[in-house]
């Protein structure tokens, strides 16, 4: 499934009665990777949460395929076609990686056990499929969360610090996967403290300039 154009108009964000940014305008087209950059406190995570529909905007609009995501029809399509992975891995500690992924994917479209095992193996978690996540390291839990990018078909990815706690090899693998998703017609909006300057396909939105 190919992504549709995303247009943000006059977006304003307030948190704890403090203005983080206002009048923000930008667009993300199919095939693009947008890195949201800026120092801590400029609203990177807040912007992603607003885009994902998890936090209200003070003002402005977000349109997907020409429809406002704040309208009923637009919201339903947007929720169906976007995948959000936050800064926290959001896996249940008492469940295994396989159980976590089976449950998370079932919320949109169920996947087979074989597909889950293949995704985990590709992320270096072979042998940990049935180990409770409470026994995994922070980096391993992050990889469990990122396995959703190999299992779910949503064309728009919204990723908050996806490279946190994973090693250099894992970062390089995830960079390739993000670029492959964009080349296939998907769209990616992400935040990261990891430098992506070596990837010419990545465009930057610096919140410090619009804060």
Tell me if 1 is assigned to some domain: no
Tell me: pLDDT of 210 over 80.
no
Q: What percent of the chain has pLDDT over 90?
A: 88
Strands (E), the chain: 6-15, 18-28, 33-37, 59-64, 67-68, 82-85, 156-160, 187-191, 202-206
The structure tokens listed for 137 are 């390291």
Task: Please tell me the distance from the alpha carbon of residue 211 to that of residue 41, in angstroms, as a whole number.
Answer: 10
Give pLDDT tens digits for 157-200: 999 999 999 999 999 999 999 999 999 999 999 999 989 999 99
Residue 19 is part of which domain span? 6-209
Is residue 145 domain-resident? yes
CA pair distance 12, 14, nearest whole angstrom: 7
pLDDT top residue among 117 and 17: 117
**Structural domain tally of the chain?**
1
- What CATH number has the domain bearing residue 96? 3.40.50.300
- Mean pLDDT over 106-129 rounds to 94
Q: Which of 28, 21, 82 is nearest to 52 (CA)?
A: 82
Cα–Cα distance list, 125 to 79, 140, 143, 172 (Å): 29, 7, 8, 16
This prediction has a pTM of: 0.96
Rounded CA separation 117/72 (Å):
36
Q: How far apart are CA 38 and CA 193, in angstroms?
A: 9
The answer to whether position 30 is within a domain reads: yes
In-domain check, residue 70:
yes
């Amino acid at each position: 499934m190919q992504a549709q154009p995303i247009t943000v108009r006059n977006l304003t964000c307030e948190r704890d009665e403090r203005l983080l940014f206002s009048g923000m305008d930008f667009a993300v087209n199919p095939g693009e990777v947008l890195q949201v950059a800026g120092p801590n406190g400029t609203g990177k995570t807040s912007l992603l949460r607003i885009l994902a529909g998890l936090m209200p905007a003070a003002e402005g609009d977000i349109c997907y395929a020409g429809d406002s995501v704040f309208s009923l029809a637009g919201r339903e399509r947007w929720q169906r076609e976007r995948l959000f992975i936050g800064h926290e891995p959001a896996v249940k500690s008492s469940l295994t990686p396989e159980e976590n992924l089976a449950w998370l994917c079932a919320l949109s479209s169920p996947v087979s056990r074989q597909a889950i095992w293949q995704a985990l193996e590709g992320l270096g978690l072979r042998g940990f499929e049935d180990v409770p996540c409470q026994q995994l390291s922070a980096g391993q839990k992050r990889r469990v969360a990122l396995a959703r990018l190999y299992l779910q078909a949503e064309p728009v990815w919204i990723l908050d610090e996806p490279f946190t706690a994973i090693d250099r090899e894992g970062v390089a693998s995830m960079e390739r996967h993000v670029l492959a998703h964009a080349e296939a017609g998907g769209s990616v909006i992400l935040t990261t403290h990891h430098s992506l300057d070596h990837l010419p396909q990545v465009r930057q939105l610096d919140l410090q300039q619009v804060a």
